[in-house]
Amino acid sequence: MGIAASKGNTVFPSGNALKYLSAYFDRERTYTSPYAEDPTDIRALCVSPDGGVLGGNICRADILDILNGYNPA
């Protein structure tokens, strides 16, 4: 048909996939979620309507101070 297969979503052993599809996963292999992101690699900020961002508030503190004090742990 000329329709290429896309990579689509990746199924990894977690949650219901682990519960219902465990027979299809290699038990000797260590899997990581391809959707997990590094919390220290900030690429965008989302500010709540009340000014909340990264555990701080831009109405009460300078955004640069909030960014410098950010601790994802």
Predicted structure pTM score: 0.50
Q: How far is CA 53 from the centre of its chain?
A: 17
pLDDT in tens, 7-60: 777 888 999 999 999 999 999 999 888 888 888 888 888 999 999 999 899 999
Cα–Cα distance for residue pair 63/47, rounded to 1 Å: 10
Among residues 59, 35, 55, the alpha carbon closest in space to that of 45 is found at: 55
Q: Which residue has the tokens 């027979």?
A: 23
Q: How far is CA 7 from the centre of its chain?
A: 19
H or E segment at 56?
A: strand 56-57
